[in-house]
């Protein structure tokens, strides 16, 4: 009788495992796009940054996880040209902002997901400059692509340059604390 119970539990466990299919889809880093927008009192700047490596994990066609590594050396301003572009790209890579020489990558790791109709509510750990903070955003997923919009408070990652939250008398030179990431993934 005891052998029968063990056999029965083993069969049930195997059948549950057989019906659960987890699959990890690697993100195509060549066709996926991450656009950033930073805001200041007198306007904004836009650009792109490349994903070095990324994947989404699905279980029974539902999104259950994700991991991304961002190549910080690819910060690129797209709304400027010439010397102005070169100057801003260099400044963003400098220690005042992302400190790319010391912090070559940033990462995003999903910690929990909840499906809500046509999209997922994603909670994740974002690490920039070696500092990790929780972020929350909505993500839409289709068969071979996904999109998400994130709003990031840079000051939580010790990026305080030009922040009116930390420096007085900046007036029209003030840079807003939050920047946006618009993510379009293909896999």
Those residues with Cβ within 8 angstroms of residue 154's Cβ, 6 or more apart along the chain or in another chain: 97, 128, 160, 163, 177, 178, 179
Neighbours of 182 (CB within 10 A): 15
C-alpha angle with apex 155: 99 to 165, nearest 5 degrees? 130
What share of the chain has pLDDT > 90, as a percent?
80
- The structural domains of the chain, ordered by start, are 23-186 (2.40.128.110)
Give 61-102 pLDDT, tens digit per residue: 999 999 999 999 999 999 999 999 999 999 999 999 999 999
Say what the pTM is: 0.86
Q: Which residues contact 56 (CB under 8 A, 6 or more apart)?
A: 24, 25, 27, 63, 65, 66, 141, 146, 185, 187
User: CB-based contacts of 3: which residues, under 8 Å, 6+ apart?
Assistant: none
- From the list 31, 21, 183, the residue with the least C-alpha distance to 108 is 183
How much is the pLDDT for 75?
A: 98
Q: What is the mean pLDDT of residues 25-46?
A: 97
């Amino acid at each position: 009788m005891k052998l029968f119970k063990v056999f029965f539990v083993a069969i049930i466990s195997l059948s549950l495992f057989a019906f659960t299919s987890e699959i990890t889809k690697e993100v195509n880093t060549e066709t996926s796009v991450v656009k950033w927008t930073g805001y200041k009192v007198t306007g904004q700047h836009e650009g792109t940054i490349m994903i070095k490596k990324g994947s989404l994990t699905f279980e029974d066609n539902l999104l259950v996880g994700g991991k991304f590594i961002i190549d910080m050396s690819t910060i690129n301003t797209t709304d400027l040209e010439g010397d102005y572009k070169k100057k801003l790209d260099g400044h963003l890579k400098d220690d005042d902002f992302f400190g790319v020489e010391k912090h070559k990558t940033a990462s995003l790791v999903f910690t929990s997901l909840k499906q809500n109709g046509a999209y997922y509510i994603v909670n994740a750990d974002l690490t920039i400059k070696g500092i990790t903070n929780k972020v929350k955003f909505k993500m839409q997923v289709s068969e071979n692509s996904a999109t998400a919009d994130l709003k990031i408070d840079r000051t939580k990652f010790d990026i305080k340059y030009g922040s009116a939250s930390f420096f007085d008398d900046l007036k029209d030179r003030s840079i807003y604390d939050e920047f946006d990431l618009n993510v379009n993934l293909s896999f």
